[in-house]
Structure 1
Amino acid sequence: MATLRGHEKVFSIAVTPNGKYAVSGSHDGTLKVWDLEKWREIRSLRAHSKSITAFAITSDGKLVVLGSLDGNLEVWNLETGEEKAAFKEHSEPITEIVITPDGKRAVSGSSDNTLKVWDLEKMEELTTLISHSNSVSKIAITPSGKYAISGSSDNTLKVWDLKKLDEETISTGHSKSVNKIVITPDGKLAVSSSYDGTLKVWDLKTKEEKVTLKGHSGPVTDFVITPDGKRIISGSSDKTLRVWDLKKGNMTLKGHKREVTSVAITSDGKYAISGSFDRTIKVWDLENGKIKVTLEGHKNYISTISIIPNKNCIVSSSHDETLKVWDLDRGIDTITLIGHSGSVSSVAITPDGKSIVSASGDGTHKIWSLENREEIATLEGHKSAPSTIVITPDGKYAVSASYDRTIKILDLKKQIVKTSLRGHTDSATLVAVTSNSRYVVSASRDNTLRVWDLESSSEVSCFTGDVPFTAFDILKDENIIVVGDSLGKVYFFHLHIPCKNNFYF
């Protein structure tokens, strides 16, 4: 171990790609290069300006681009110590600098609300990107070098096309928190719902809002999309369901006495199923909007409804601590699963339809056999209630997020808790798995979205927003993620899986 001295106050350190040198930036206006084999300073670069606030090194380790408190940007040759260029273009402190993977361009962000793109071959400014209404705080570059994503104190993220040198995506959305996002089966559209009582339909190609669906007089609590992608069925705290069909017109389904809590759709798209605070489940004929049957039996409100694959049956969970399996043809519950000592908050069904995994306020997960109609295993681990649970597409694992800040991976074959993923600093509220069953994406009240490698149980990367992310969905095969936040904004990201420890949106 060695102590390297020379700065007054160090604010940032980076290591060159070859691992031989460390570069440190200081508020004393110097950038120092350190030999990590001989543990000594080999070069000190004195900026023309005040305190250095940001710097980045090109991928070949030859150039460093630094920004300062007075808005100056300078380019230096790390090998010779020669200054290559100096610019005074930003009117406020530079807050962030990133360089494209090919080392040809740099992007700087500033407290003047702008980003600037720089050509490192010609040593000139290419353009100024203007759209943020407050200081630019973070910038990331996609591995292809095509897009830059900027985060700002104005609570927005913006995606910029570095080839076209313009804004690719503007985050916009609802007036209140987004509570659910679903991508249509054909992958062309995304639908978001909000506590503002509306749903919005988004075009994933243009990243633009196509239509806002208004009609509910209370918050939208849940919604589903029919398998053919033509209709949306939403439930609300206004006690109603609405069927949205842009071609045939809309319907309002009335019958519940209290708020609708959960909505599901049968695999043939003919029937919608709703659960409510009135403790009932209703099956609706979507052709005529009439109630086919009302299912009663739970002693408290309905938490969730799930469709069992390849069967005309559903599973409901309730605050009464039970799960029930219902036969939709006969209109009766065929199984009542008893065992939890707290409200059942989330349920997932294996792809083969043979098993159920439930999460409860008692802090446990239970695996149930639908064939034998019994509990197979109880898996403990969370110190507080799980918030949601999903099963990987290959059916090997269940993944649960919890208010204890952890993500648990459950091995369904071995019936054990495989591992706990730790990193969130506040309640983990959402979790999803990529279509290849390799990566887990989780959201938390700590304002982060984290990506985890399922096999190695390691965190791949972390993205931090200004407010909590409250909903997201991942487009299968194409790694597009649509994210909503507590301010009502909706974002569109290309989720690029990293090679090492870098992760870009």
Structure 2
Amino acid sequence: MADKRKTSSNINGDAASASSSSMVKRARQDEDGARTMQLAISSANDGTSKGLIRSVKRTSSLSSPIVSLTGAHTSEILDVKFSPDGQMIAAASSDRTISIWQTFGENRNIGILSGHAKAVTAITWSPSAPHTQPKLFSSSADGTLIVWDVLAGAKLRRLRGHKGIINCIACAPGGREILASGGDDGKLMLWDPNERDVLDVIDVTYPVTAVCFSDDGGQIYVGGLDNEIHVYDLMRKEIMFSMKGHTDTITSLALSPSGSNLLSTAMDNTVCIWDVQPFAPEPLPGQSKNVRLYRTLQGATTSGYENLLIKSAWSKDGRRVATGGTDRTCTIWNVDNSNILYKLPGHRGTCTAVALHPQEPIIVSASVDATMFLGEIEP
């Protein structure tokens, strides 16, 4: 891995300007073993001296409740993902590079992966590679995919087949490692990352913007410019069923940890959760409503002049979902009641992607402002 290291900023540990409050943090251990952060806050805005001590219950192993990850990129960050073991973060940027960060400890930028000729549009980690030899897959506007040895910072192979921008990439869970990619050329391509040649091609006929495998890897969910989600049987290469509900381009698809529900985000300012179990009911003849639609989540702003493919994610227990937004915030919902739990601000531009940690209550968000925020939430 190239030794191009950047630093992280501890938000609660930085001194504020002289005209605002300043904070000093101290960590202590409660009797019940829970970690608590004490914030000593002093204010001198009007020439008088005031002070208070505020304790904040800690919920994660992060060194600080919120950390800013900056300096690695010179342009928009388009995707962000935790490694399967949660120890690393990968971020893909339109500056043609991928940055790798430590999740815990000093949150260092431990390397930069360079190899694409244009913007890196999407990334996904190999779910089957050992944590001692992590692999990452990336797609790019240069029309290629790259398989990376993350720790060595080396390209294992480049996969060619698409003509034009590749918008999305997904890896089948478990079993044989299969990649799927979708692009502006209207092709859905399947790959064995250990081989250079494409395994199979499905002609979708319109630009593909989001892909996701089913829990058993036998089906693939495809979203694009027709505003619908189509479920393909990979053996027959045929559409099994389609899910209608969005009124604009699908930007992201993500399967729940249980494999029963699919999360979709679109440019229509809605986030939907679908029942994708094999024996879920189908609409009756003449019935317009899609009976597979489980929840429609409101409150996020996912449309805008930038036409960015905003990405969403599930929590490890399937109880919460999160998405970015063009309003510069990250929104987190309770799946059971559709209530908004958090509306997290801080970015100076569209929040393009979010990821939730596979083990702890931690979220990372990425933005067109070329920064990321790593922080803890309530468990």
TM-score by shorter chain over 0.5 = yes
The answer on whether the counterparts of 1:197 and 1:218 sit within 8 Å (CA) in structure 2 is yes
Residue in structure 2 matching 1:232, options 115, 124, 136: 136
| 1:280 paired residue number | 187
The answer on whether the counterparts of 1:200 and 1:213 sit within 8 Å (CA) in structure 2 is yes
Q: Secondary structure at the match of 1:94?
A: coil
State the distance in 2 between where 1:284 and 1:201 align.
24
Provide the identity percentage: 20
State the distance in 2 between where 1:352 and 1:145 align.
24
Name the aligned partner's letter for residue 278 of structure 1. Answer: D
Q: 2:149 matched to 1:245?
A: yes
The answer on whether the counterparts of 1:357 and 1:368 sit within 8 Å (CA) in structure 2 is no
Query: Which blocks of at least 5 consecutive residues in structure 2 are unaligned?
Result: 1-15, 29-35, 46-50
Q: CA deviation at 1:145?
A: 11
| 2:20 paired residue number | 94
State the distance in 2 between where 1:146 and 1:300 align.
43
State the distance in 1 between where 2:288 and 2:92 align.
34
Alignment of 1:60-459 (within 5 A): 92-95=18-21, 106-108=40-42, 142-144=56-58, 171-172=69-70, 173-206=72-105, 207-229=107-129, 230-246=134-150, 249-267=155-173, 268=175, 270-296=177-203, 298-330=204-236, 332-335=237-240, 337=242, 342-343=247-248, 345=250, 346-349=252-255, 370-371=278-279, 374-375=282-283, 398=295, 400=297, 431-453=312-334, 459=340
Q: CA deviation at 1:146?
A: 11
Residues 400 and 379 from structure 1, CA distance in 2 versus in 1: closer, same or farther, beyond 3 angstroms? Answer: farther
Q: CA deviation at 1:258?
A: 1.3
TM-score of the aligned structures, taking structure 1 as reference length:
0.54
Instruction: Say which structure, 1 or 2, has more relative contact order (CA 8 Å, 6+ apart).
Output: 2
Query: Higher strand proportion, which one?
Result: 1
State the distance in 2 between where 1:461 and 1:277 align.
34
Residues 475 and 278 from structure 1, CA distance in 2 versus in 1: closer, same or farther, beyond 3 angstroms? Answer: same
Alignment of 1:460-479 (within 5 A): 460-468=341-349, 469-479=351-361
Name the aligned partner's letter for residue 215 of structure 1. Answer: G
Name the aligned partner's letter for residue 223 of structure 1. Answer: I
| 1:483 paired residue number | 365
The answer on whether the counterparts of 2:37 and 2:58 sit within 8 Å (CA) in structure 1 is no
TM-score of the aligned structures, taking structure 2 as reference length:
0.70
State the distance in 1 between where 2:100 and 2:295 align.
30
* Deviation digits for residues 367-396 of structure 1 (CA, Å, limit 9, x no counterpart): 66644794488669xxxxxxxxxxxxxx99
Q: What's the RMSD between the two structures over aligned residues?
A: 4.6
Residues 253 and 466 from structure 1, CA distance in 2 versus in 1: closer, same or farther, beyond 3 angstroms? Answer: closer
Q: CA deviation at 1:402?
A: 6.4
Residues 463 and 375 from structure 1, CA distance in 2 versus in 1: closer, same or farther, beyond 3 angstroms? Answer: same
Q: CA deviation at 1:328?
A: 3.2
Larger radius of gyration: 1
State the distance in 1 between where 2:59 and 2:244 align.
53
State the distance in 2 between where 1:233 and 1:474 align.
19
The answer on whether the counterparts of 2:257 and 2:316 sit within 8 Å (CA) in structure 1 is no
Q: CA deviation at 1:405?
A: 7.6
State the distance in 1 between where 2:280 and 2:320 align.
32
Name the aligned partner's letter for residue 346 of structure 2. Answer: G
